[in-house]
């Protein structure tokens, strides 16, 4: 996948998480030499199962609008750990206890940690400029 397109898709997923008030949003850029099967992990937490499902729904909706569909979705019904697999990036939405237990940040500690704002800047630089539309009076 083109890097520009990938950056834009991950940025949309980040915005969806932020809009649904996801907590502790972390982006990991995985190193291919580590045996990683994807380019990015987007990890966040929800405070309850409804919020976790709402975050998942919003991500899926936004990316579908952009023509991107998940390869696989796991854990949606239980909503302790929802995984959205988009092949080039994987989104993990955890309950707090599940996030502490699985501790993906520790397991993938060799990955480069990106801040959401930093990633947004990358996506904004790469995405085409939008034309402003003025209403005529």
pLDDT tens profile 4-18: 788 888 999 999 999
Under the banding of pLDDT at 50, 70 and 90, the label for residue 132 is: very low
Residue 125 pLDDT? 44
Per the prediction, the chain carries an average pLDDT of 85
The C-alpha atoms of residue 96 and residue 100 are separated, in whole angstroms, by: 6
- pTM > 0.75: yes
Which is it for the CA torsion 122, 105, 78, 35, positive or negative? positive
Does domain 3-126 sit in CATH 3.40.50.300?
A: no
Whole-angstrom distance, CA of residue 126 vs CA of residue 96:
33
Residue 113's contacts (CB-CB under 8 Å, 6 or more residues apart) are: 26, 27, 28, 29, 105
The domain ranges of the chain are 3-126
pLDDT in tens, 90-117: 999 999 999 999 999 999 988 999 887 7
């Amino acid at each position: 996948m083109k890097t520009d397109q990938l950056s834009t898709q991950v940025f949309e997923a980040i915005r969806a998480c932020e809009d649904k008030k996801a907590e502790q949003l972390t982006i990991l850029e995985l190193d291919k030499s580590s045996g990683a099967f994807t380019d990015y992990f987007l990890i966040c937490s929800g405070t309850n199962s409804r919020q976790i499902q709402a975050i998942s729904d919003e991500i899926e909706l936004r990316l579908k609008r952009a023509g991107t569909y998940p390869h696989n979705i796991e854990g949606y019904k239980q909503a302790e750990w929802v995984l959205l697999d988009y092949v080039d990036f994987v989104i993990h939405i955890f309950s707090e206890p599940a996030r502490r237990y699985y501790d993906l940040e520790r397991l993938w500690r060799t990955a480069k940690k990106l801040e959401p704002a930093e990633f947004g800047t990358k996506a904004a630089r790469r995405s085409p400029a939008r034309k402003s539309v003025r209403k005529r009076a």
